[in-house]
Structures are given as C-alpha cells and as structure tokens.
Amino acid sequence: MSRRLHVLRAVLLILAVAGIIAGAMSGEVRIVITKAVNVCLECIGIG
C-alpha cells in the first residue's frame, strides 16, 4: 500500500467532510429537504 494512496484518501475524506459542512452552512440542506419532502413530479413522470 503506497503512502501516496493513504495521503490521497485522507485528503479526499477531509475535502468531503469540509464540503458537507460548507454546503450545509450555505443553505443547501434546505434546498435538499424542500425537494425531498414534496412529491417529485419529474421522478414519477408527470412533471
């Protein structure tokens, strides 16, 4: 197992967690939940 792979994993993990936190703080969670709690007409083929 190369050291470079370990570093890449750690960097991607940190970026992913940072993205989740930054996105949540910028109001994206509200967009996601607003879409998800209403019936998605596009998903069922009538939107």
Partner 1 sequence: MSGRRTTFQVVAAIGQNSWLAGFLRGRIWRGASKAVCVPGLNCYSCPGAWGSCPVGSLQAVLNRSADRISLYVTGLIGLFGVLLGRLICGWLCPFGLVQELLYHIRSRKVRIGPTRLRYFKYVVLGVLVIAMPLLLRDRYGVGDPWFCKLICPAGTLEAALPLLALNESLRSSVGGLFAWKAAVFAATMVSSVAVYRPFCRFACPLGAVYGLFNRISFVQLSCDRTACIRCGRCAAVCKMGVDPSVRPADPECVRCGDCTSVCPVHALTLGLPVRKPAADRPS
Cα(first)–Cα(last) distance of the chain, in Å?
A: 49
Contacts (Cβ under 8 Å, ≥6 apart) of 29: 23
User: Site residues for partner 1, window 1-47 (CB under 8 A)?
Assistant: 1, 5, 8-9, 12-13, 15-24, 26, 28-29, 31-40, 42-47
Minimum distance, C-beta of residue 34 to partner 1, in the bound complex (Å): 8
Grouping H, G, I as helix, E, B as strand and the rest as coil, residue 32 is helix
**Count of positions on this chain that bind partner 1 (CB under 8 A):** 35
Contacts with partner 1, residue ranges (CB under 8 A): 1, 5, 8-9, 12-13, 15-24, 26, 28-29, 31-40, 42-47
